[in-house]
Amino acid sequence: MTLLDVRNLSKTYPGAGGSTVKAVSDVSFSIGPGEVLGVVGESGCGKSTLGRSLLRLIEPSAGEIHFDGRDLMELDRGQLKPVRKDLQIIFQDPFGALNPRHTVGGIIGEPLKVHRVGTRAERAARVAELLDLVGLPADAAKRYPHEFSGGQRQRIAIARALALNPKLLVADEAVSALDVSIQSQIINLIADLQKRLSLSIVFISHDLSVIRHVSDRIAVMYLGRIVEIGPSEELMTNPKHPYTQALLSAIPRPNVPRTGRIVLKGELPDPANPPAGCAFHTRCPHVMDVCHSDRPKLARPQEGEPDSPLEVACHLYKAA
């Protein structure tokens, strides 16, 4: 079964001098019930734009988003509102995501109030239940966001996202703004809640070492496109795309010599003026003539690595 099916999703912005910036370009993937898809890539590759476009917090420029059997792109604002109960997001910044004028109880209970779920007493009971679920005391409901640490604020944001029992959760860099010592606590909390509640999650991060702990599958993005996607363990142990290999080589590993590090030369290309052919060819250590002119399609290799469960967009692996 498929809960979320995304086809050829694109998002463009007007750039300087009449140019067009392709933040997300022709992205396709699917997620099953209870599955976690990690989305990873450098800053500026389009990860956050993709996550927000899935929920139509940013309106996509083209493509299809089928969620639970309905095409979200065909729904107007009124029709989309009841569907939003099943689609929630955790934002990156736990300081800016919470209204400082509202109590924690009011913040967590707001989705219930907006969607007219339960009586006042039932909503208060649900808030207490959610606070306990994310490891915060019941009296936190009467306090304000500024009274909490960054990790505690992110727990509040998670509780709010879970208030309506969503089917799909987008975690947009949910731990990158936190201290390293707190990151593991929030990652473990999200992983535990995912199992207990059978949540489907799109987990966005720039850190592959974080992604691997929570994801069933991983999608690697480069300049607005998915260049490799597949099962987490296979991608982490036997990556195919040179970009994925470079990302993995940069992960620090205790007591392991830093040999085999792949250092990419040059900067991320300008999305307003992307290179022709494969966008990665300007930095790729295996660049070939065909890379300059032909854009590779995301497909399972039929030559070179025919038994791999990964899909890769690279001319090193010919598709059928």
Distances (CA, A) of 16 to 13, 152, 271: 10, 40, 12
**178-219 pLDDT, tens digit each:** 888 888 888 989 999 999 999 999 999 988 888 888 899 999
pLDDT in tens, 224-252: 999 999 999 999 989 999 999 999 887 77
pLDDT band at 319 (very low <50, low <70, confident <90, very high): low
Identify the pLDDT of residue 114.
93
Say if CB 162 and CB 133 are below 8 A apart: yes
The proportion of the chain whose per-residue pLDDT surpasses 90, expressed as a percent, equals 69
pLDDT for the residue 320: 47
Task: Please report the pLDDT score of residue 211 as a whole number.
Answer: 87
Higher pLDDT, 255 or 93: 93
pLDDT at 258 over 60: no
Indicate the domain borders of the chain: 4-231
**pLDDT greater than 80 at residue 44:** yes
State how far the Cα of 272 lies from the Cα of 170, in Å rounded to an integer: 27
What does the block give as tokens for 4? Answer: 């979320």
Q: What CATH class is the domain 4-231? A: alpha beta
Residues in a beta bridge with 67 = 4, 70
Cα 303 to Cα 319: distance, rounded to the nearest angstrom: 7
Arithmetic mean of pLDDT over the chain: 90
The conformation of residue 265, written as its DSSP 8-state character, comes to P
pLDDT in tens, 93-126: 888 889 999 999 999 999 999 999 999 999 999 9
Residue 27 has pLDDT above 90, yes or no: yes
Cβ-count burial 122-133 (b if 16+ within 10 Å, e if not) = ebeebbbebbeb
What pLDDT score was predicted for residue 306? 64
